Amino acid sequence: MQTQPGTTVIADRYAVQGELCRSAVGMTVRARDRLLGRDVAITLIHPALGDDDAFVTSLADQTKRVAKVSGPGIARLLDTGQQDEILFVVREHVDGETAQTALRRDGPLDPDSAVRAGSAVLDALAVAHDAGAFHLWIGLDDVVFRADRTPSVTGLGIASAVLAARPDDVSAFIGELAPEVVTKATAEVGDAVEIDARADVFAVGALLFELLTGERPGGRSSPRAIRSAVPRSVDRVVARSLAPDPRDRYSDARAFSAALAETRRGLPASASD
């Protein structure tokens, strides 16, 4: 990386403008793509992962798959590279605020807003699933609300790369995962543990739980038990998505989204309507 007067430039192309967020995986910054004249979001991978050849190979495999994913609600993968021993991933910059920022400022979302956000995230993930890409863990910083409050999903492919390369460390780097993902991380070599769209059903269920309550599930499945304002219909849908056995969850992202849409019929409209 080059540091020009007052500016850090990555790969002689991306001029860093400021930090967006940090996680165990690395730091994400906003930058200006000087070649194409657009803003991008660049994740600088933590050296604990970037120095691992297995992770580098796994991430390369994942980014090839994710590069095929394009659709509303997905922050597109634009570029990858390595400079000064720092691995980086470049994505479309989504102008808005993360769900983390929104919750810290305003507290939990009203049920209608949370349900709409969850449905939009699921609709975006369904497109990714069609391309064979799974998110596995959607943290609050992986969801960016645009000015019209529609969410976009970022970070696609990172958790899958960690799982493939560093299974013993996946929970430390990522967070609360579907039970079958944890099982796969601890399984003996050769053991068959299937990971499919239902892992992301769980991930979005965990996201909704946090949007509704301000707390991570931590093994719990009922947001209503924490926040009585959560309608029973929403509570039932979220609880099913967080079932420990994937066979008890919704079969895929579209089925989960449809179930959430049904709950909106009885909900008061959010203030943004």
Q: What is the pLDDT of residues 99-121, one digit of tens each?
A: 999 999 999 999 999 999 999 99
Residue type, 219: G
Q: Which residue has the tokens 């297995």?
A: 54
Task: Tell me which residue of 212, 195, 86, 211 sits closest to 142, measured CA to CA.
Answer: 211
Q: What is the mean pLDDT of the chain?
A: 89
Which has more confidence, 163 or 216?
216
Give, for 262, the enclosing helix (H) or strand (E). Answer: helix 253-263
pLDDT at residue 118, rounded to an integer = 97
Residue 137 CA to residue 213 CA, distance in Å, equals: 18
> What phi, psi does 187 have (nearest 5°)?
-75, 155
> What phi, psi does 120 have (nearest 5°)?
-65, -40
Which has more confidence, 189 or 135?
135
pLDDT band of 254, cuts 50, 70, 90? very high
pLDDT, mean of residues 192-203: 89
Residue 111 CA to residue 117 CA, distance in Å, equals: 10
Residue 86 CA to residue 264 CA, distance in Å, equals: 45
Inter-residue contact 209 to 249 (CB < 8 Å): no
Burial 100-113 (b: 16+ CB within 10 A, else e): bbbbeeeebbbbbb
Pairing mode, if any, of strands 143-145 and 151-153?
A: antiparallel
pLDDT band of 273, cuts 50, 70, 90? very low
pLDDT digit string, tens, across residues 257-271: 999 999 987 667 654
Inter-residue contact 35 to 13 (CB < 8 Å): yes
Residue type, 46: H
pLDDT, mean of residues 248-265: 95
Query: Hey, CA dihedral for 264, 269, 270, 273, is it positive or negative?
Result: positive
